[in-house]
A and B are shown apart, each in its own frame.
Chain A
């Protein structure tokens, strides 16, 4: 088994008095690709936000480690600097900050090194071209006036530029047309290697086309209720989620 990157054990967490994750366990090894499936409202996005340390959520018990280090007290920016990245389902629009400026600032704080403008700009332009993005978007304000597809591509652009250890992809393929899913899928495949891992929430198998999925987890009602290999995806696509609960109860 690969070296552990993310290890979550019996995690209970929620917002205010409402518990959303009810004893969730999950581990992702170095270089692995994991997929989380689950019906709407099962806690998938909440899990992503909690891994990233969204201050809105409180962890009540259980453990969460990244590269063997307890994450619970780590702030969001510290988690990012350790190598976590979240591709948002609905990326925020932030006026007045250009894509280039945000990314350069981020790269600087994550690497701890000064990022020179010209080489950075060159790399950014090349990466944008790979994602079939108009390079002019680098000078536009972050996500402001971007279409849904442009926002998602910008997330993948950030993923490639910041090169984290673990990418959390929250429905990065939703709302995209076939061609855009293809581009995003290729982008994720480019990111993934022996060192870099992915944890992917999706309703669409097309994003996985260029990836070799190691493990699939089914999240229902705040817990992982079933795990398996890539064959589980097809099974769920065919039979839906309800039979899993029925099997468990039976």
Chain B
């Protein structure tokens, strides 16, 4: 019989992301973390006094907390080597022509200005520690929608920022939340007034160019009563041989009857530690929809949390994670049911290949105040070879009465019988494999913004390797 050929799924085509620009930053903080560095960053950013104090307090919290030990090992991370603030040589502008050439080229390659013309209602672009471009359609401004970088928000809408900033994710939450509180820079601020429906998505893109740096952008979104918004977040960085760190923080406030869809495609390079914290507070009849794609980074810990705070508040979480060689991606979701009749639906797919490790981790908590909570978790993992690993770690803590909780987990490999079935229909083995992998992520892919769905399809391009299976 002919040798069985081994097939594998190609890595993401990374060339696009790996183009590095020369480092033209005008200022870089010293690496490491001291009150002096934090004070210096705060001064350069012209923070109001309360923010300076907030940063310094956060630093104290940071120093008092230990590294978390329950997830992937973070030993490789040496904070003394990380440059926490890198100011690009560009001022924030609303015109792409005014963005320095090399930075603009980067965003051009990523297709951001093009998408802005066709399918987005507003765009923000961050390069290293600062936002270099921001725009929003005129009619939205007229309806009172605010979409700007966090620094501008702090200057122009300081009271709103002060009311919400790190209230949902307090620095005490964990070590990297504290770190974020101390050195955060950049990010997006969105405010949608009561009853306003933002028809076209807003997209912020975060690009980390400098080697050995950290990116700590803060995203604060407030969707007022009966308003709606779709926000898209994209992240990428070129690959360096030193560790880069991403410890962003996302706080989403979904008010009564409001809807927010938050889509993220994270494609950091394989030297990135992605320790991101995202949380949503959902009030009565509100809906948070998370769509989360994790394809990049060396180590990721990412578990967006939904606090269902008002009656009938809902959460839909859809996630896909693809871990390849050298990647340890620990992703999942967390839901806190804190009011009656709240419901959540978590649906994830993880794929691991070439020695990659993908872990699904989730926590569902139903408090005493949340009778008739409903939660269904469906997580499926596919390992494409024997080198790769997948784990599923769901935790449930149910205190409320009459809870309806369902959990379904599957970990598997591509079945030989499924391949035989498809090949018996004339489809060759590689295509059969690709079809099965595409089929596996299909329920998720259809939720992704179009250009990202295409990217994910490319990711499942199959190559044939003539070695023994």
Chain A positions within 8 Å of B, measured between CB atoms, are 52, 54-56, 58-59, 73, 75-77, 79-81, 85-86, 88, 91-92, 94-97, 102-103, 105-106, 109-110, 141, 158, 162
Contact = CB atoms under 8 A, between A and B. Distances in A.
Contacts of A158: 425
A97 B434 CA distance: 11
A56 B417 CA distance: 10
Contact of B423 (A58, A77, A85, A103): A77
Interface residues of B, number: 27
Given A88-B421, A106-B425, A162-B425, 16 more contacts: A52-B424, A55-B1, A58-B1, A76-B423, A85-B424, A86-B424, A92-B415, A94-B422, A94-B439, A97-B439, A97-B442, A105-B427, A109-B428, A109-B431, A110-B425, A110-B426
Interface in B398-457: 415-418, 420-429, 431-432, 435-436, 438-443
Contacts, number: 84
B69 to A, nearest CB: 36
A88 B425 CA distance: 11
Contacts of B427: 77, 102, 105-106, 109
16 contacts: A52-B424, A76-B423, A77-B427, A77-B429, A80-B423, A80-B425, A85-B424, A96-B442, A97-B438, A102-B425, A102-B435, A105-B427, A105-B435, A109-B426, A141-B439, A162-B426
Contact of A80 (B426, B441, B443): B426
B431 to A, nearest CB: 8
A79 B431 CA distance: 16
Contacts of A94: 418, 421-422, 435-436, 439
Contacts of B425: 80, 102-103, 105-106, 110, 158, 162
A75 B1 CA distance: 10
Contacts of A109: 426-428, 431
Interface of B: 1-2, 4, 415-418, 420-429, 431-432, 435-436, 438-443
Contacts of A76: 420, 423-424
A167 B436 CA distance: 25
Given A106-B426, A109-B427, A75 B440 contact: no
B429 to A, nearest CB: 7
Contacts of B426: 77, 80-81, 106, 109-110, 162
A95 B412 CA distance: 13
Contacts of A55: 1, 4, 416, 420
Contacts of A79: 424
Nearest to A144: B439
A8 to B, nearest CB: 17
B462 to A, nearest CB: 14
> What is the interface of chain A mostly: helix, strand, loop, or mixed?
mixed
A26 B415 CA distance: 31
A55 B416 CA distance: 9
B215 to A, nearest CB: 34
A-B interface, 5 closest residue pairs, ranked by CB to CB distance from nearest? A96-B439, A96-B442, A80-B426, A106-B425, A76-B423
Contacts of B423: 75-77, 80
Nearest to A143: B421
Contact of B435 (A80, A91, A97): A97
B439 A56 contact: no
A91 B429 CA distance: 18
B367 to A, nearest CB: 34
B237 to A, nearest CB: 31
Contact of B443 (A52, A59, A96): A96
B409 to A, nearest CB: 15
- Among A55, A58, A158: residue with most chain B CB under 10 A: A55
Contacts of B432: 77
Contact of B428 (A56, A77, A102, A141): A77
A95 B417 contact: no
B434 to A, nearest CB: 11
Nearest to B425: A106
A96 B457 CA distance: 13
- Among A59, A76, A103: residue with most chain B CB under 10 A: A76
Nearest to A57: B1
Contacts of B416: 55-56
Contacts of A52: 420, 424
Given A77-B427, A88-B421, A162-B425, A59 B439 contact: no
